[in-house]
Structure 1
């Protein structure tokens, strides 16, 4: 079993920096979810903040295990590619569902449907 104590200092510093940066971005995205007013404003902050934050955490993980195992570890690229594909699709589906609901209820806060 590998131990993180074996990680050299030259690799530990960028890993720590990437982890802190990723955690900070995820926190900012989560705070945006709490602070912003409407649903349409709130969906963007967590989507952008947490996606970029998770990206930094995945890069830190790739660097850590590549150094510890003395070979290139790229398992995290699969996770990153799935996050890049699924996050915008989920955002778009949630937003379109909310827009459809608001338009069918006659809400004045959203623009009317374009003519077909």
Structure 2
């Protein structure tokens, strides 16, 4: 079997799998009940789906300049998606936009209570 055919088959599998993961992330954004689960759906499968699509494109294109651009897109996506999801979660938590009954552990509550106590005690009278 020709090596080009193998690359094309693997690229097709990566493209379809990446598209399905991205579709699942989009459906989860609509269907999940609260912000934290939606944030998880937006960050994890969407990034993996994008990386699979980029790998499929790289296998299909096989030119140096195009692959460099795809690597940069993947690197920036890996660097920014978790940070953005973390910041959205931190901003939404104090505003009670999450369902605390779905949390297994709540490590942020103790930290926010401690910060609020410190601000209260350090405020001028």
Query: Shorter-chain TM-score: which interval?
Result: 0.7 to 0.9
Structure 1: distance between partners of 2:99 and 2:5: 57
Count residues in correspondence: 104
- In the alignment, what sits opposite 2:79? 85
Structure 1 segments (4+ residues) deviating >4 Å? none
Structure 2 gap ranges (5+): 116-125
* Contact 2:21-2:45 within 8 A present in 1 as well: yes
Give the structure-2-normalised TM-score: 0.71
Root-mean-square deviation (CA), in Å? Answer: 2.6
Q: Which has the higher helix share?
A: 2
Describe the SS at the equivalent of 2:113: coil
Structure 1 gap ranges (5+): 1-7
Structure 1: distance between partners of 2:75 and 2:54: 11
- In the alignment, what sits opposite 1:31? 27
- In the alignment, what sits opposite 2:48? 52
Structure number with greater Rg is 2
Deviation, structure 1 residue 109:
3.8
Describe the SS at the equivalent of 1:37: coil
* Contact 2:34-2:99 within 8 A present in 1 as well: no
* Contact 1:32-1:45 within 8 A present in 2 as well: yes
